[in-house]
Chains A and B, each alone.
Chain A
Amino acid sequence: MIIVGITGFLLRGGFNRGIDFLGGSLLEVEFEKEVNVSEVREVMNELGYSSAIVQMVKTDLVQTESNRFIIRIKAKELGEPISTEEKEQILGLLDERIGVVGQPLQDRTVDPGFSRVLINNALMAIGISIAGILIYVWIRFEFRFGAAAILALIHDVLVTLGIYAILNREINTSTIAAILTIIGYSLNDTIVVFDRIRENTPLTGRLGYGRVVNDSVNITLSRSINTSITTLFPVVLLLILGTSALKDFALALTIGIISGTYSSIFFASPILVAWNNRFPKYKK
């Protein structure tokens, strides 16, 4: 899975970083009639924004025309976000050619300097939560549990990011929040399994550590699956029904929940066994 993710990352030449991370402007406009992407792009090209990303807001999967569009102009190409006048110019021409309804539905501008602050904050939040969790699990369990748990959640984060790279979905602050949630959630799953392993560890002498881990995973299996299913219900519904921003969030959560369940069973637990076999503390 990680390999798939990394391959996707390499194929796409990196992530599709949103304006939160590059700086730039985002406009969501509603038109008087339904048009297709190329009609909007034509207007943008005419004004010299050939690098602008024009995205159609769909209400179902098959439609090819819509009256709602999201236009992203990244500051990367221009050095700084578009000014108020340039924005007026874009909206003016769109109105002239297609016809815009009222004020933009969404209008966002991020300074490239500020986006660096956002990235730092995101990295800081991820780093601190990982460190906090490692310490907590270390105190409550043992260091190797903490390490295995962290490896499992790194796996989950990589898988989610990889799938984002493959789908060429935009990474923005919502995605980062979702990834942090996945970190918490994945840990949740892993800990339930580890808890049972800890409880059954006294049986190691009789059964062997691998067996203990295996039994623990089996016992908690129905719980793991049930929990994932119940959490996935609303999240998947959000993915289907939600607005674009909610969908972004829900996609990351969906991937993370599935990956989190899978990783605590097939990834974190084997690591624990392997670790144990290398440092045979429990083999009597």
Chain B
Amino acid sequence: MRNKKVHITIIVIFIIIVGVSLYYILTEPINLGLDLKGGTQIILKPIQSSEEEEIPESKLDRTIETIMERIDRLGVSEPLVTKDYHNNIVIQLPGVEDPDTAKEIIGKTAELEFRLVMGTFISISKQKWEFIKFDYKKGQLLIDPDSEKVLLVDDINAMTAGETFSIVGELITEPDTQEMLLVEYEEGSQEEDGQDNDTEENPEADTGIETDKVIGKIIYNQETRELQLVDYQTGDVSGEVLVDSRTGAATMVEKVFLTGDDLARAVAGYDNYGAIRVALSFKGEGVEKFAEITSENIGRNLAIVLDEEIESAPYIKVPIEDGEAEITGIDSIEEAKNIEIVLQTGALPITLKLEESSTVGPTLGRDSLNKGLYAGIAGLILIIAFMISYYRGLGLVSTISLMIYIILFWGVIAGIGAALTLPGIAGIILTIGMAVDANVIIFERIKEEIIKEKSPRVAVGDGFRNAMRTIIDSNVTTLITAAALYRFGNGPIRGFAVTLSLGVVISMLVSLLFTRSLLFLMAGVPRIATPGFMGVRTRRSE
């Protein structure tokens, strides 16, 4: 009989597939999601600068490359960096010891700039001076309303140490336009002594400002979010106000003359005096430019700026010809190491903002996995007990199908290396229930046909034909839901969508092919195919 051969072939094929699955299950470890094995997930959102409509793909890819490199240097094994469909960068770090540091290093823009210092703003009131703070977010200098005068002094280190320094300029608010103007300080009043903090008697600020003495006006640029010094007449940008990370003081710096792009190397360590530092060395053109600027500006301070904050501002004593510089004033060697990592890997082409971070400790993860598996196995035993007691012989058939389903499912998960997540476990448990559902639908149909006094073989054939349509319709709707989940879900939810759709497809194949063939073969053996076997009571009361 040809039909019989077909059924035997199908069963043999399934046995082979089960063998292959078992091979995968035994050789490939299951890829656990972060919520099960413990680890940190970080989602970073690119901040769009207003000039670009959309962030170019290439920039995003370069950002991801840089992030990968930083993660490598942090020594995290098996990291995963992906983009989601909102172009957010999703980073998965299994088993990180210190997630907070990792977060900080990965997301840091690390834009390194070298700029000449023009001076630091101080306010003078009642014979005392203090630093002026700068509010980045609002782009405002926080000037005490009581202050009599706002001055720009050129060497704050010297001033604090009581050595000679000069007053470079004064910040004046134009009475008519309320513009903030930086005016050159009058000659002769320079070379002050820092120790007595009172300034020399100066004539009261003129009501009319002589335009030839105006260095420029200070304007907040909404687009770049920078507080800039622009030329009074032409509007060219000649400087910018930054915060000195050591003092918190607002500092005026000139334009960028060198960036981290020209950096060859950054190494964290100690200098000859045992102070923590990050040694920097330039390459190619950077060496020349650095030599040129340092030789032309002896006696001035050079600001080393990292992410819009001045890290240190050393005094230029001699021209630096070899392209070596260093960042000092670092609190700990760990911090120096972090700076080394971000500088070595280079700046991120895009500024990123932390959207979500989630860390699961390894104990909690293992706990979830064990409890999930435990519930799954206990549930499975209950299902089998229920099916056998209700459907008798057919129940046994469904037990075999269910086992095959679980082996195939597990094999596919192991084979394709899909990550098993916490919602994924819930998905598996749900699909076990649904796999049984297909059997229940089939068995109920067969029982109906048996009750109609059909022969076992005809009953199995008719029962299947009727059940098939129902099973396909009901599973397709679940697949639609799973697809929507996959498209719009994130991380763990996606894992759930994957396990759900895999489960639906595999269970459909098992019940529509394997179970069917098995039942057909059994129906051909008269001793097995009794109504009692089919779960129909022989002494029916109907």
Chain A: residues with CB nearer than 8 A to chain B? 28, 30, 84, 87, 102-111, 113-114, 117-118, 121-122, 124-126, 128-129, 132-133, 136-137, 140, 173-174, 176-178, 180-181, 183-185, 187-189, 191-192, 195-196, 199, 219-220, 222-223, 226-227, 229-235, 237-238, 240-243, 245-246, 249-250, 253
Binds A, one of B305-313, B355-363, B407-415: B355-363
Instruction: Take A107-B99, A118-B490, A128-B484 as given contacts and tell me if A238 and B429 are in contact as well, using a CB distance cutoff of 8 Å.
Output: yes
Within 8 Å by CB of B355, from A87, A114, A192, A245, lies A114
A-B pairs with lowest CB-CB distance, top 8: A234-B379, A231-B433, A184-B481, A114-B355, A129-B484, A184-B478, A125-B488, A188-B474
Asked if A191 and B100 make an inter-chain contact with CB atoms under 8 angstroms apart, the answer reads no
Residues of chain B contacted by A174 (CB below 8 angstroms): 422-423, 492-493
Residues of A within 8 A of B353 (CB): 111
Interface: B527 (CB within 8 A): no
Contacting pair A253 B364 (CB below 8 A): no
On chain B, the residues within 8 Å of A240 by CB distance are 375
Give 5 CB contacts A-B under 8 Å: A125-B484, A181-B427, A195-B473, A243-B368, A246-B375
Other A-B pairs, 14, CB within 8 Å; known A174-B493, A230-B440: A104-B361, A125-B484, A128-B488, A177-B423, A184-B481, A223-B440, A227-B437, A230-B383, A230-B387, A230-B436, A235-B430, A237-B375, A238-B376, A246-B371
CA distance A238 to B488 in the complex (A): 26
Would A111 and B433 be within 8 Å (CB), given that A192-B474, A235-B379 are in contact? no
Q: Scan B17-49; emit 1 where CB is below 8 A from any A CB, else 0.
A: 000000000000000000100000001010000
Q: How many angstroms from the CA of A34 to the CA of B430 in the assembled complex?
A: 35
Report Cα–Cα, A127/B364, bound state, in Å: 34
On whether the beta carbons of A111 and B355 are closer than 8 Å, the reply is yes
Closest chain A CB from B540 CB (angstroms): 15
B9 at the interface (CB under 8 A from A): no
How far, in angstroms, from A240 to B371 measured CA to CA in the complex?
Answer: 10
Q: What's the least CB distance linking A255 to chain B, in Å?
A: 14
CA distance A114 to B359 in the complex (A): 17
Contact with A along B474-499 (1 / 0, CB 8 A): 11111011111101111011001000
Cβ contact of A242, chosen from B372, B470, B475, B487, cutoff 8 A: B372
Q: Give the Cβ gap from B251 to chain A, nearest Cβ, in Å.
A: 24
Chain B minimum-CB-distance residue to A107:
B359
Nearest B-chain residue to A247, judged by Cβ: B371
Known A125-B487, A237-B379: A105·B429 in contact at CB below 8 Å? no
Whether A180 contacts B485 in the complex (CB less than 8 A), given A188-B434, A243-B371, comes out as: yes
CB of B360 within 8 A of CB of A238, answer no
Q: Which of chain B's residues have a CB closer than 8 A to the CB of A229? A: 386
Q: Is there contact, CB below 8 Å, between A106 and B368?
A: no
In Å, the complex CA distance between A62 and B375 comes to 21
Residues in B whose Cβ lies below 8 Å from that of A188: 434, 437, 474-475, 477-478
- B378 in contact (CB, < 8 A): yes
The reply to whether B480 and A184 form a contact with Cβ atoms under 8 Å apart is yes
Question: Measured between alpha carbons, how far is A188 from B470 in the docked complex, in Å?
Answer: 9
Partner of A230, one of B437, B484, B490: B437
Instruction: Assess the A231–B473 pair: CB atoms within 8 A.
Output: no
The listed residue with most A CB atoms (<10 A of its CB), out of B376, B380, B422, B474, is B474
Contacts of A126 in B (CB 8 A): 484
Give Cα A111–Cα B483 distance, bound, in whole angstroms: 26
CB < 8 Å neighbour of A233 from B354, B383, B475: B383
Asked if A246 and B478 sit within 8 Å, CB to CB, the answer is no
Residue in A106, A191, A231 whose CB lies within 8 Å of B360: A106
